[in-house]
Structure 1
């Protein structure tokens, strides 16, 4: 199981509305929950697995509520909502903890009013009895979205183009993973295959401590079930042979949503301006060509 802690590496995770499910943490917890449910695990087992594997989120002041709300609703859908989970959610809502958080994060009066009503209805729902438990679904196996060696152009929000290269692909696996390296490229023209032959991997800044940031290459795994063409415009412009193989349990254990690819490229300049120049360099060719010691 892929822990959601991997997603916390990206700064743009967050909420997009006042609804209980209108945030990334809720959606990802729900996905993980029902993947395990469809594997035959019982709801109480799943809850403990998710709590144990997502301690960073459970202990995150801004994200913990979304975690517990998702867990509670998923168990309710299965008609097996644990009293301890219901009690935790009840305390969050009735204490005003969630509303306080929304105010601290800058929600306006209208948003706070909507959120209050939504929380009240949510708690009422959790205290009601669902007619039938959610049925377990047969697990789906998927191919990755892109093939190993694909050279991709990335449409950016400002009309320019970025570049990305597919280092690994999977066939008929649970997640259909692609390992993709973003390249140091922004232009009004789409990248050429020749560009990828000599390209450098794009680096970003990761917070290493409260006062320091370290360089890290933007090489991440992407899941086929999360891909939506209307969220990210990636086009195949060609292919280059790659002689290396990568494993998601060993290499570049960072997972990112597809929709963040353009912003990772666009935000690099701002991050450099704020936290200092990138000191590391990495040739894309070194990730493609197998070297022998």
Structure 2
């Protein structure tokens, strides 16, 4: 279990429970089916005293917020709070223990008190990109330079089907012809330190880019610039950077600010 704070959902297990329970409802399971599948899925964690409280509380509080609190789950969660066992994990830090106690008290009051009306849970809209592996997008920065980004692969996740983009190692003002486009390598990422210092240009040179609030690549300033050959490793390529079409132009502007515009014939 990974807990990074005293809040109920400052905990990896609690976050997983919350998200998985909602997903089961989004997929159309009944309240009873969703609850039973969660209890089955987390049976091992429920047998672990260090994790059981996180599971019961996360499930109970999530159900309560949705107006779907199961009496069995409520009773287990309240019993876990009243046992005081959870606070033992915070005994070496009085300040965090006090914050955890407040969080538990609020959760208990929520679970024991009047419950809200049952809320509908709908599956979120799933955006599917029309880009394909090999497509090349261009973005023109304010100083006139172009960034060229190739689609390495398409990532199919629950909430979106989005492109994985890799920046091509290119600086210029015009898209090169096809033979040169195929010969361009990928731009290397610049290592950066985790000391709070400003990110250097191209600290990230690959991204998973999702559409947000109906903003796609064509409305965010990107244009299709051509197509390029596949590269070894593309089908299994993973990026550490997730972003949106609204935010990616800001990053590209920073990356290209210090790059001199190189006129091309």
Q: Deviations over 1:121-176 (max 9, x none)?
A: 211110112232222224421337x964699xxxxxxxxxxxxx955423xx6333
Structure 2 CA distance for partners of 1:175 and 1:192, relative to 1, 3 Å: same
Structure 2 CA distance for partners of 1:125 and 1:147, relative to 1, 3 Å: farther
Q: Deviations over 1:62-81 (max 9, x none)?
A: 43322221110122223332
- Distance in 2 (CA, whole Å) between partners of 1:143 and 1:243 is 25
The alignment status of 1:18 with 2:3, answered yes or no, reads no
The within-5 A match list for 1:164-183 is 166-170=152-156, 174-176=158-160
State TM-score, norm by structure 2: 0.52
- Distance in 1 (CA, whole Å) between partners of 2:83 and 2:239 is 34
The alignment status of 1:31 with 2:31, answered yes or no, reads no
- Distance in 2 (CA, whole Å) between partners of 1:176 and 1:141 is 5
The within-5 A match list for 1:56-205 is 56-103=44-91, 108-143=93-128, 148=133, 166-170=152-156, 174-176=158-160, 192=169
Structure 2 CA distance for partners of 1:241 and 1:68, relative to 1, 3 Å: same
From 230, 239, 260, the counterpart of 1:241: 230
**Paired residue for 1:40?**
28
- Distance in 1 (CA, whole Å) between partners of 2:111 and 2:58 is 11
Structure 2 CA distance for partners of 1:95 and 1:15, relative to 1, 3 Å: same
Q: Deviations over 1:18-74 (max 9, x none)?
A: 221222332332222222223332222111112223445444554332222111012
The within-5 A match list for 1:190-269 is 192=169, 241=230
Residue-pair matches, total: 188
Deviation at 1:110, TM superposition (A): 0.6
Deviation at 1:243, TM superposition (A): 8.8
Once superposed, what is the RMSD of the aligned Cα atoms? 4.8
- Distance in 1 (CA, whole Å) between partners of 2:2 and 2:228 is 35
State TM-score, norm by structure 1: 0.48
Deviation at 1:94, TM superposition (A): 0.9
- Distance in 2 (CA, whole Å) between partners of 1:239 and 1:55 is 49
Deviation at 1:117, TM superposition (A): 1.9
Q: Deviations over 1:246-273 (max 9, x none)?
A: 7xxxx99xx99868xxxxxxxxxxxxxx
